[in-house]
Amino acid sequence: MNVGSVIAIGEALIDRLGPLGGDPSFDLPVTDCFGGAPANVACALGRLGVNVSFISCLGNDSFGENFKNLLIQREINISGLQQDMFRPTRVVLVRRDSDGERSFEGFEGDKGMGFADQAISREKIIRDWPLVTENAQWLVAGTIPLASEISSKAFLWCIENALHAGIKIALDLNWRPTFWRNKVSTFLEPSTKEKNQIFSILKNVSLIKLAKEEAQCFFNTSDPTRISSSFAHRPSVVVTDGSNPISWRLNNHIGKSFAITPSSVVDTTGAGDAFTAGLIYKLISFDLDQISQKIAEEIIQFGIACGSHVCKGLGAIDAQPYLYDIDNLLS
Instruction: Say how far apart CA 53 and CA 80 lie, in whole Å.
Output: 7
Residue 261 and residue 268 in contact, taking contact as beta carbons nearer than 8 Å: no
Label residues 233-254 b or e (16+ Cβ within 10 Å = b): eebbbbbbeebeebbbbbbebb
Total residue length of the chain = 331
- Count the alpha carbons within 13 Å of 15 in the hemisphere toward its beta carbon: 25
Mean pLDDT of 117-130: 97
Which pLDDT band holds residue 2 (cuts at 50, 70, 90)? very low
pLDDT at 98 > cutoff 90: no
Instruction: Tell me the pLDDT tens digit for each residue of 181-211.
Output: 877 665 588 999 999 999 999 999 999 999 9
pLDDT at 1 > cutoff 70: no
Contacts 24+ apart (CB under 8 A), 160-163: 161/129, 162/7, 162/133, 162/136, 163/204
Instruction: Tell me the pLDDT tens digit for each residue of 44-53.
Output: 999 999 999 9
Q: 104, exposed or middle or buried, with CB in 10 Å at 0-12, 13-18, 19+?
A: middle
Cα 176 from chain centre? 12
- The model's pTM is 0.94
Mean pLDDT of 273-297: 96
- The pLDDT value recorded for residue 186 is 57
- The pLDDT value recorded for residue 125 is 98
Beta strands 244-250 and 236-241, pairing class: antiparallel
Residue 87 and residue 114 in contact, taking contact as beta carbons nearer than 8 Å: yes
Residue 17 and residue 8 in contact, taking contact as beta carbons nearer than 8 Å: no
All domains in the chain, ordered by first residue: 2-323 (3.40.1190.20)
Asked whether the bond before 29 is cis by omega within 30 degrees of 0, the reply is yes
Mean pLDDT of 203-220: 96
